[in-house]
Amino acid sequence: MTGSEIMAVVGFFVMVSGALWGIWWRIEGRVKEAKDSAVGTATAAQALANLARDELAAHRLHVAETYITKAGMRETTEQLMEAISGVKSAVDGMTLRIDRVVEGQPRRSTTRT
């Protein structure tokens, strides 16, 4: 091989390696962009989750302070028990009415032959 042929082969390999390096460089750039985008999205999601956690804790505290007390539970229980007894007395009255209606009717007799 002569010097010009060796230079042509070396030039060819340099050109191929340069092309491959350029392709790799572009791929690395795209991967870096995707990574940066994913990090940004993850950071935003984490901030939103922290905000939701803080709001939930504040709501739990508000509910505990406002609605859940022993006196409030007693009052609610008493109201429920009064409502249940009111329904029970209405049902008992209805049962008595139905019994009176049934008692007033003559009995039917069936005959079998």
Average pLDDT, whole number, for the chain? 84
The pLDDT value given to residue 39: 95
| Band (57; pLDDT cuts 50, 70, 90) | very high
1 contact partners, CB below 8 Å, separation of at least 6:
9
Taking the C-alpha atoms of residue 50 and residue 42, their distance in angstroms, rounded to an integer, is 12
Predicted structure pTM score: 0.42
- Taking only the tens place, the pLDDT of each residue in 12-28 is 999 999 999 999 999 99
Between 40 and 106, residue with greater pLDDT: 40
Q: Which two tokens stand for residue 102?
A: 């049934």
Helix (H, G, I), strand (E, B) or coil at 112: coil
- Which pLDDT does position 26 carry in this prediction? 94
